[in-house]
Amino acid sequence: IELYLDKDYKQRTTTIKDTNSPKWNETFTFNLQKGDDTLHIDVYDDDAVGKDSIGSAKVSLKKIQQGGAQSEEWVKLPAHLGFGSHGEVHLIFRLS
């Protein structure tokens, strides 16, 4: 998974092999600046040839900031062209 506010500064989870239900339990820190209002999430399947996109999503940080010091959200990964879903990612946000 790649997480970013700005495409020039992406953070990435470790790759978990041979599972359709990975669990990362990783922590990422973002320093929010004025105008940072969207967290982008890109999920990939890493294989021998390269990485294939599973899905992408966006999370409104304004909504998260209104939720208080901690909030969590299940983010759906829409399939390409919007047909169906390619799963979801569980995120927990802590503001400090």
First-to-last alpha carbon distance for the chain, in angstroms, is: 23
Asked if residue 5 has pLDDT above 80, the reply is: yes
Q: What is the pLDDT of residues 14-65, one digit of tens each?
A: 998 888 888 999 999 998 888 888 999 999 887 777 788 888 999 988 877 7
Domain boundaries, the chain: 2-16+26-94
Q: What is the pLDDT of residue 80?
A: 67
The predicted model scores a pTM of: 0.82
Percentage of the chain beyond pLDDT 70 is 93
The C-alpha R_g of the chain, in whole angstroms, comes to 14
- CA angle, corner 71, sides to 5 and 53, nearest 5? 45
Q: What is the pLDDT of residue 55?
A: 87
